[in-house]
Amino acid sequence: MTHADEARLFSRYLVGREAPPEVLRRYVEALARLPLEPQHPADRGLLHFVRRNPWSLPLLDAAVGVARRDSMLRARLLLMLALVEATVEFSDDFLPRRRAWPAVVARVAGSAGIGAVKILAGLLLLPLATRSR
C-alpha cells in the first residue's frame, strides 16, 4: 500500500469519503518531510496490520488513543485530520450544528457507549496488530 492509499483509507475513516487528490498529495508530501516513519517494530506492525485490515482502523485508533498515544498510527491520523479539517470540501463536517438539548445528550451517550466498545475491542486486538509484519 502506498502513502496515497493510506491517505485514502484514513480520509474515508475520518470523514466518510475519499479526500481530493490535492489533500492526498499534501499527505504524501508531509510524510516525506515530517518524522512520521515508524521506528519501533510495534508501530511498523500496527500500520501494516491496519493497511491489510482496514476494518480494524476504528478499533485500533480507539485503543492507541488510550494505550499508545505516541504511536505513528495516531500521528498519521492526526496529520490527515488536520489536512481534511483545513480543506473547504470538508468544512461542513467540522462546523457545529444546532441541535436540541435531548438530541445532544442522546448523541453523546451513544458515542460514549460505542467508544467504550471500540476501546475494549481495540485493546484486545492491539497485541496481535503490533506483532503483524
Provide the residue ranges of all domains of the chain, joining segments of one domain with +.
Answer: 3-131
* Distance from C-alpha of 96 to C-alpha of 84, rounded to nearest angstrom: 16
pLDDT at 130 over 80: yes
Question: Quick one: cell of 131?
Answer: 506483532
Q: Report residue 38: phi and psi, to 5°.
A: -65, 125
pLDDT digits (tens, 9 = 90+) for 10-47: 999 999 999 999 999 999 999 999 988 888 899 999 99
Find the DSSP H helices in 39-71: 41-52, 57-67
| CA distances (Å), origin 123, targets 17, 41, 50, 92, 109 | 26, 18, 14, 32, 21
pLDDT at 97 over 90: no
Q: CA-based angle 24:81:26, to the nearest 5?
A: 25
Do 125 and 68 meet the contact criterion of CB atoms below 8 Å apart? Answer: no
pLDDT attached to residue 36 = 87
- pTM for this prediction: 0.87
Question: Quick one: cell of 70?
Answer: 505516541
pLDDT digits (tens, 9 = 90+) for 42-93: 999 999 999 999 999 999 999 999 999 889 999 999 999 999 999 988 888 8
Place of cell 478499533: 59
